[in-house]
A and B are shown apart, each in its own frame.
Chain A
Amino acid sequence: MAHEIAEQLAGLASRVNNLGVNHTGEDSRAFLALQDRLAQLAQAAIVADLSDERPAYQAALKGLNDAIEFIGNADVQLDNVAKAIALTSKAADLADQAMSSVA
C-alpha cells in the first residue's frame, strides 16, 4: 500500500515540477514549496514502505543467525575428533605410567 502511495506521490511531484518550469517569480517559488511538500510526502511513503518490511527481514535474519550458530557447534564437534584421539593417547600414557609404577 505504502509502495503504491510512494509511486503516485512521486508521479504527482514530477507533474507539478513540469508545471512550475513555466512560471516565474512568486508563482515559481510557490510551486517549488508545493513540490517540496509532495516530495517529502513521497519520501515518507518510501520510508514507511521500507520500514513495513522489517518483520520479514527479522524473521529471515533469525534463520541466518541460527545457521551461523549451527556452524559454530559443528566446528566444535569436528575439533572433538582430534581431541578424542588425543584422549586415547593420554589414556595410553596413563596406562603406561600405571604399568611402570607396578613394575
Chain B
Amino acid sequence: MTKRNYSDPSDATAARMRFRVQSLVPRGLIIAVSVLGVLLAGCVSFPTGKYEELCSSGEEVLNDAVATFAQIETLQRHYEVVVAPDAMLTTNSFEPPVVAGRPTDIVPELQFRENAIRTVAKYLTVLNAFSAKDYQSAVDAASIELAGSLENLERSAGALRPAESKEASGVFSTVVDVIGREVVREKRIKALRTVMQAAQPDLAVLCDLIAHDNEKIGQDIDLMIGRLIAHANADRPAYGTADRIAFDERIGAELWQAKIMKESLKAMGAAISQIPAAHKEIEDCLEKKSSAIEGLKSLAEEAERANVFYRNLK
C-alpha cells in the first residue's frame, strides 16, 4: 500500500488544505465570530452585582430571624415561669399550656418560619452562585486542550506543515472557544430568566406571608410583656426598699429586649417585603438589551479577549 505524502507541496489535497488555511485571516475571523456571538447574545448586560446584593439581603434577613426568634423563645420560657399557677411543681409546670384544645407554644411556628426564610435565602444564594459561576474558564481550558489535540492530529495526517497545523488548530480552537463562551452565556441568561419568572409568584407569596406573620408574632410579644408587667406590679418591692431598684432594672432590661425584638421583626418584615420587587427588577434587566455603547464595549472586549486567547495558543 502506497502511503500518500501529505506534506509534499506537490500533493493536490495538501495544497488545497494549505490554501484554505492561508485564506483564513485569523484575526479577522476571530473578530467576526466575536461580533456574531455578542449579537446572538442580544447585548444583554449581565447584572452579576445585583444578584450578590439580593443574596446578601436574604442572608441578613435569615440572620435577623435566627437571632430574633431565639430571643422570643427565651422570652416565652421566662414568661411561662412567671405566669405558672400556684401548684405543685411537675416536669410540665413551665410548658406552654394547651388551652381549649389549642397549643399556646409559638416556638414550632417560629421554627417553621425560620425554615421558610432559610429556603428563600438558599434560593437567592443558589441564584447568585449560578449567575457568578465561572463556566468560561472550563471552556477556555477545554479549547486549549482541543488546540493541542487538533495540532497532533493534523501533523499525523500530514496534511499541513507543522507551522500551518499549529495555526489551523489555533484558529479552530479560538472559534470553538468564542462560540462555547457565548453558548454558556446565552444558556445562563435563558436559565435565569426561566427560573426567575417561575419563582416570582411563590417568592412574592412567601415574603408577604413572612412580613405579615411578623406582625402577629409581635402581638404575641405584646401579650407576654403585658402579663410580665402585670405580674411584676403584683410582686414589686415597696418603694424606697433596697430590692426595688434591682427589681426594676431587671424588668427594664426585659422591656428593652422586647422593644428590640419588635423592632427587629418590623425591620425584617420591611426588608423581606422588598425582595420580590428587587428579584423582578433583576429579571427585567435580563430582558433589556444594553445600550449601543455598552454593546460596542462588550464586543470590543470579547474580540480582544479572543485575540489574546489565539495569540497564547501560538
Contact = CB atoms under 8 A, between A and B. Distances in A.
B142 interface: yes
Contacts of B230: 17, 20, 32, 35
Nearest to A99: B156
A63 B201 contact: yes
B284 interface: no
Interface residues of A, number: 67
A32 B226 CA distance: 11
Contacts of A103: 3, 156
Interface string A63-103: 11111101110110111011111101110110110011001
A71 B191 contact: yes
Taking chain A's interface residues, is the majority helix, strand, or loop, or is none over half, making it mixed? helix
Contacts of B105: 47
B22 interface: no
A65 B233 contact: no
A96 B148 CA distance: 11
B223 A96 contact: no
A57 B206 contact: yes
Contact of B180 (A37, A39, A65, A82): A82
Interface in B88-122: 96-100, 102-106, 109, 112-113, 116, 119-120, 122
Interface stretch (B29-37, B127-135, B263-271): B127-135
A62 to B, nearest CB: 8
B201 to A, nearest CB: 7
Contact of A75 (B103, B123, B133, B152): B133
B151 to A, nearest CB: 9
Contacts of A85: 139, 142-143, 145-146, 176, 180
Nearest to A73: B191
Given A3-B216, A100-B156, A82 B205 contact: no
A21 interface: yes
Given A41-B100, A46-B220, A63 B187 contact: no
B102 A79 contact: no
A44 B198 contact: no
Nearest to B83: A36
Nearest to A83: B142
B172 to A, nearest CB: 10
Interface in B138-196: 138-139, 141-143, 145-146, 148-150, 152-153, 156-157, 176, 180, 183-184, 187-188, 191, 194-195
A63 B209 CA distance: 15
A83 B183 CA distance: 13
Contacts of A99: 153, 156-157
B104 A75 contact: no
A56 interface: yes
A67 B195 contact: yes
Given A88-B146, A96-B149, 18 more contacts: A17-B230, A40-B99, A43-B220, A47-B102, A50-B217, A51-B109, A57-B116, A67-B199, A68-B122, A70-B194, A74-B130, A78-B133, A78-B191, A83-B142, A85-B145, A86-B145, A92-B153, A99-B153
Interface of B: 3, 83, 85, 96-100, 102-106, 109, 112-113, 116, 119-120, 122-123, 126-127, 130, 133, 135, 138-139, 141-143, 145-146, 148-150, 152-153, 156-157, 176, 180, 183-184, 187-188, 191, 194-195, 198-199, 201-203, 205-206, 209, 213, 216-217, 219-220, 222-224, 226-227, 230-231, 233-234
6 contacts: A46-B106, A50-B109, A81-B180, A82-B138, A83-B142, A89-B145
Which 7 pairs between the two chains have the least Cβ-Cβ distance? A63-B202, A82-B138, A74-B191, A85-B142, A92-B149, A44-B102, A67-B199
